Structure 1
Amino acid sequence: MPSIPVPLVTLLVLLILIVTLAANDKQRHQTTLLFLVVCSLLLAVGALRWILPSTPLMALRVLLATLLPALAWYCFSPHTTQNYSRWKIVPPALAIIIMQCWPPTIDSVLFVLYIGYGAALIFLGLGGGDRLSDARISEVGLAAKMALTAGVFLCFSGMTDLLVALEFTLHQGKLVPQIIAIMQSLMLPLLSLAIVFAARTRPREVSIETVLPDSSPLQTPEQAALCLQLENRLRQDDLFLNTQLTLNLLARKAGIPSRHISRAINATYHCNVSQWINGFRIAHAQQLLRSSSLPVTEVMLASGFTTKSNFNREFLRISGQTPSAFRQQAGSMPRSENA
């Protein structure tokens, strides 16, 4: 039966991804690890159901499959101002009730759940900072990518379940093993890329000569004034050094709607709010690297960053070199380097 080896290979790849993420930064990837563990459990139960068919295993698989979309929303959209976020558990609860009262609807209900939550996550990820305004500034980009990836995964899973259900309806499930094998084979390269991405410790180097982009001639006078107001507010009490800074928090401090901030920054500097804030943080880090012998890790923390990977990536993006190389070029030799 060709469907058994492929799910087991997929399960192995998921387990490798879990171990890789846990070894890289377990605390940072807590929600991702939770989602991957439940996915692995669902896959394991599904494989066992083909080997040892039983009603309890079938019921457990349906329960896990019903809860997975809501879990994906919980794990990958915790920082959203959308009102529907508080209702994330209502659809699966209704789905369980419907499936208990009308079992033939299981496949249709699961398809709607997966496509609905998947589309919502894709919409959230494509919206970026405007829809993730409660995310920490330093993690907006990552949060958007994770939401988008989770949404695509849910939609892909929903389409797989739909094909399996149609095959059972049309041909009594004769081609189900082949369908599962093909669909999961298509998923394996994506999971492999996720492992490679998770294991990467050295960020991509991009040379940018200035800390902050030049102003755009297309900006309006109102946007120019708004950006100046924001910069003054950021420099007051070194607000940009706050590791918990979010777009919503900045909007409250400045008394400006968050969507106006995003538009002004995009029009003026051709970057998002996160990159703009990180420009101030990197400038602060450069000053510390030039004027002190603090270890690079302490410079990172003192500059508003919480993870070394993000600090190194942004330092490379803005400065075109690593923090250690920047310090050496500046002529300061600290006692320990951790860049």
Structure 2
Amino acid sequence: MLFIPLPFVAALLLLILFGQMCLREQAASRHFRILVLLLCLLAIVIGVRWGYGIERVLPAQAIIASAVGPLAWVCFAAFVTEQGNRLAHRFWPSLLVAILTVARPQWIDVILIAIFAWYAVALGRLAWAGTDALDLARFDDAPLVHRSLQVMATTMLLAAIADSLIAMDLRVFDGSHAAMIVTAATIPLVMLLGAAAAIASRNPSSPAPEAVQPTPASDDDAHIVARLKPLLQTQGLYRDHDINLSRLARRAGIPTRQLSKAVNSVCGKNLSQYVNDFRIAEACRLLESGDIAITTIVYDVGFLTKSNFNREFRRVTGMSPTEWRAKRTPGPAQAVGVEKMVNVPHPTS
């Protein structure tokens, strides 16, 4: 009977995902597609090494594995202005491991563990900063990107733990449990698949709203929010599908951190939720004003996907758009109720 190692199954799933991402180019950046392809190649090499016992692929496995963390960092750093494109994050781990495969192969296990742990911490710190730290992510996508970042950081940590267990088993038990540990370590690959799929998908599942811990508001914060409201209210910037924290900060002439802090302090929510409140307020009025199709409203108010629209609509109103339309009838009194519920001024057309 033909034996197919479990990592080969993971490689097949990753290859299918890569094909889907290539067909939907706007759904994922080039770096994310490269990351998925790299993971596919890593899964194949792992399957060859531990499934068929071919040790000659060990140097290639180490070099490929060392590139996962840096590439994952580059993928998510693209959503953050301050991170930029740091070349050190692209090259030094793989270069170091490539040198060690020739000069000091006995050090490779320790270095790989350190690389995975390093990028787990780096990605975790970026995730800890919250959704608003991803200032180049569109407000429509920011919660999904943040959730994927959390999964990626967790996966890097699991990879470091798995490599530590394998290294310990090789030294203490002569590798008698290594194959089993490697098989179990396929799970992080599947998690990476899920993270990449979340970034690539244009029809994501609805993540839970991010909890925001408000800080005491100052007079400056209130002034900043007062400057921000007209941009959204009068100019209708919330309708821009590509709007993000960085672009909004430039339009307002306010640094991104200062703008995010002001909205957090004054409104008790992140900027993505604040902008979406304007979108939902307008959606409520459109739902009451006539028989406009919900799919048309989704796009008109600034959302790109109906799933994100439905999630935010339920967050604000406590019901689905269909339920809202069924319970509401057009009229001035109802419009006032919408504005009070959403807690933003009436966005003018």
TM-score range, shorter chain: 0.7 to 0.9
1:91 equivalent in structure 2: 92
| Structure 2: gaps spanning 5 or more residues | 331-349
Question: Aligned partners of 1:194 and 1:100: how far apart in 2?
Answer: 30
2:27 equivalent in structure 1: 28
1:50 equivalent in structure 2: 50
2:130 equivalent in structure 1: 128
Q: 1:201 to 1:254 in 2, by over 3 A?
A: closer
1:223 equivalent in structure 2: 221
Deviations 1:270-327 (A, max 9, x none): 1111000000011122222222433222211111111221111111111222223323
1:210 equivalent in structure 2: none
1:209 equivalent in structure 2: none
User: Which moved further from structure 2: 106-115 or 33-42?
Assistant: 33-42
Q: How does 1:289-300 map to 2 (within 5 A)?
A: 289-300=287-298
> Structure 1 vs Structure 2: percent identity of aligned residues?
29
Q: How does 1:271-286 map to 2 (within 5 A)?
A: 271-286=269-284
| Structure 1: gaps spanning 5 or more residues | 207-215, 333-339
Letter in 2 for 1:290: E
Q: How does 1:189-338 map to 2 (within 5 A)?
A: 203=206, 218-331=216-329
2:65 equivalent in structure 1: 65
User: Which moved further from structure 2: 231-240 or 287-296?
Assistant: 287-296
2:170 corresponds, among 163, 168, 171, to: 168
Question: Aligned partners of 1:325 and 1:140: how far apart in 2?
Answer: 26
TM-score in terms of structure 1 length: 0.78
Q: How far 1:246 sits from its partner (Å)? A: 1.3
Question: Aligned partners of 2:246 and 2:147: how far apart in 1?
Answer: 20
Q: How far 1:20 sits from its partner (Å)? A: 12
Q: How far 1:139 sits from its partner (Å)? A: 1.9
Q: How far 1:19 sits from its partner (Å)? A: 9.1
1:110 equivalent in structure 2: 112
Q: How many correspondences in the alignment? A: 319
Q: 1:217 to 1:134 in 2, by over 3 A?
A: closer
Q: How far 1:155 sits from its partner (Å)? A: 1.6
Question: Aligned partners of 2:232 and 2:130: how far apart in 1?
Answer: 22
Question: Aligned partners of 2:324 and 2:121: how far apart in 1?
Answer: 43
Q: 1:152 to 1:296 in 2, by over 3 A?
A: same
1:213 equivalent in structure 2: none
Question: Aligned partners of 1:277 and 1:241: how far apart in 2?
Answer: 9
Deviations 1:111-133 (A, max 9, x none): 22211112111111111134311
Deviations 1:39-81 (A, max 9, x none): 2431232112224344653343223212211222233332012
Q: Decide whether the 8 Å contact of 2:165 with 2:181 is kept in 1.
A: yes
Q: How far 1:242 sits from its partner (Å)? A: 1.3
Q: How far 1:84 sits from its partner (Å)? A: 5.8
Q: 1:287 to 1:300 in 2, by over 3 A?
A: same
Letter in 2 for 1:72: A
Q: 1:37 to 1:143 in 2, by over 3 A?
A: same
1:154 corresponds, among 151, 156, 161, to: 156
Q: Decide whether the 8 Å contact of 1:115 with 1:155 is kept in 2.
A: yes
Question: Aligned partners of 2:329 and 2:115: how far apart in 1?
Answer: 58
Q: Decide whether the 8 Å contact of 1:125 with 1:146 is kept in 2.
A: no
Question: Secondary structure at 1:137's aligned position in 2?
Answer: coil
Question: Aligned partners of 2:156 and 2:102: how far apart in 1?
Answer: 25
Q: 1:222 to 1:320 in 2, by over 3 A?
A: same
Deviations 1:225-277 (A, max 9, x none): 22111112222421121111111111111121211111111122111110000
Letter in 1 for 2:57: L
2:141 corresponds, among 116, 134, 139, to: 139
Question: Aligned partners of 1:189 and 1:19: how far apart in 2?
Answer: 14
1:335 equivalent in structure 2: none
Q: 1:152 to 1:195 in 2, by over 3 A?
A: closer
Letter in 2 for 1:166: M
1:39 equivalent in structure 2: 39
User: Which moved further from structure 2: 247-256 or 4-13?
Assistant: 4-13
Q: How does 1:6-25 map to 2 (within 5 A)?
A: 7=7, 18=17
Letter in 2 for 1:50: W
Question: Secondary structure at 2:135's aligned position in 1?
Answer: coil
After superposition, the CA RMSD in angstroms is 3.8
2:347 equivalent in structure 1: none
User: Which moved further from structure 2: 264-273 or 275-284?
Assistant: 264-273
